[in-house]
Amino acid sequence: MFKTLLVSLSILFLASNSFALTTEEIDEIFDSLPQAECNEFLFKPCICANQVPKTIAYRKNFPACDNRAAAILRGDFRGIFSIVLRDMLNNDRVAPQGFNNCTQSEIDAGLGKCSAFKVQKIIKYKNRTAYCFGLPGSRLSRATRMTLKLADDPTSNNDPMVRICLNPNGKKNLNYTPVKNNG
């Protein structure tokens, strides 16, 4: 009974969030993704950079984001709950001194505005959404993966996530940009 109530509340919460994906959409996304194989130190495997779906892109300098780094998501990924860059130690609270005029206590509190690894601006287009990070990609070289949280369940620590490896075994670097297929 309690589990049924939690599932019902989770579905109600997800339905009330216009950015949230449904359980069915999340299942479809997971079914369509390649197996996550790129291990990153102690953390869950990531999808290798050369296997990332074309609906997920990373640009180190995206003009609409004032030439800051951006993740550009299409299709089902447009409705994700959040996206963040992380380093090898799972840190997403990386900010240069004085970033966005944040104090050290604000940085320590984990405020999104105080991390260059977190989204600072979202731009919605007709067929894609751009998530702008805090700095250009060349200044975010500590990042090794993007973590996409598909939905947020406040009652669980096991939210559905997709991890994209940006630096698998040094073969591709943070600023990897898939080559457009003209065929």
Q: pLDDT, tens digit, for every residue of 19-50? A: 567 888 777 777 777 776 666 555 677 777 77
Query: Please, are residues 112 and 99 in contact by the beta-carbon 8 Å criterion?
Result: no
Measured CA to CA in angstroms, residue 91 lies from 81, 101, 152, 176 at distances of: 19, 20, 19, 20
Q: What is the pTM of this model?
A: 0.74
Q: What is the DSSP letter of 43?
A: E
3-state secondary structure (DSSP) of residue 81: coil
> What pLDDT shows up at residue 131?
95
In this prediction, residue 173 has a pLDDT band, given cuts at 50, 70 and 90, of very low
Q: Give the tens place of pLDDT for each residue, 48-81.
A: 777 788 888 888 889 999 999 999 999 888 888 8
Q: Give the tens place of pLDDT for each residue, 73-110.
A: 998 888 888 999 988 777 787 777 778 898 888 888 88
For the chain, give every domain's residue range. 19-170
Written as one string, the DSSP assignment of 150-177 is: ----TT-S---EEEEESSGGGSS-TT--
> What pLDDT shows up at residue 76?
82
